[in-house]
Amino acid sequence: MSKLGNKISLAANTRVVACRVFTPELLALGVPDEKIIFLDQGLHRTPEELHRRLGLELAALEGDEAVDTVILAYGLCGGGLEGCSSGRLRLVIPLAHDCIPLLLGRDPGPEAGQVIRTFFLSAGWIDYGQTPLTEYYQTAERLGEDNARWTTREIMKHYRDVALIDGPLVQEPRYWAYAQEMAELTGLACGRVPGSLAWLQRLLAARESRGVRIVLPGTKIERHIYPAGGATTTF
| pLDDT of the residue at 111 | 46
Distances (CA, A) of 87 to 58, 60, 161, 166, 220: 9, 12, 44, 39, 10
d(CA 122, CA 125): 5
What whole-number distance in Å separates Cα of residue 102 and Cα of residue 32?
19
Q: Where are the domains of the chain?
A: 14-102+197-225, 108-194
The DSSP code for 100 is H
What digits encode the pLDDT tens for the residues 171-198?
999 999 999 999 999 999 999 999 999 9
d(CA 80, CA 49): 8
pLDDT band at 104 (very low <50, low <70, confident <90, very high): very high
| 125-158 tens-digit pLDDT | 999 999 999 999 999 999 999 999 999 999 999 9
Round to whole Å and give the CA distance between 17 and 40: 11
Q: What is the pLDDT of residues 5-61, one digit of tens each?
A: 568 889 999 999 999 999 999 999 999 999 999 999 999 999 999 999 999 999 999
Helix (H) / strand (E) containing 132: helix 132-143
Does residue 1 have a pLDDT over 50?
A: no
Got the DSSP string for 148-164? HHHHHHHHTTT--EEEE
Q: Which residues, in sequence order, are bridge partners of residue 121?
A: 164
Mean predicted lDDT score pLDDT of the chain: 91
- From start to end of the chain, where are the E strands? 14-19, 36-39, 69-73, 90-94, 118-121, 161-166, 189-194, 212-215
Q: Which residues have a Cβ under 8 Å from the Cβ of 55 and sit 6 or more positions away?
A: 84
Q: Name residue 118's amino acid.
A: T
What average pLDDT score do residues 154-171 get? 95
Which residues neighbour 3 within 8 Å (Cβ) at sequence distance 6 or greater? 168
CA–CA distance, 197 with 220 (Å, rounded to integer): 27
Side-chain half-sphere CA neighbours of 173 within 13 A: 0
pTM of the model: 0.90
Please give the distance of CA 219 from its chain centroid, rounded to a whole number.
23
pLDDT at 235 over 80: no
Q: Within a 13 Å sphere around the CA of 13, how many CA atoms are in the beta-carbon half?
A: 11
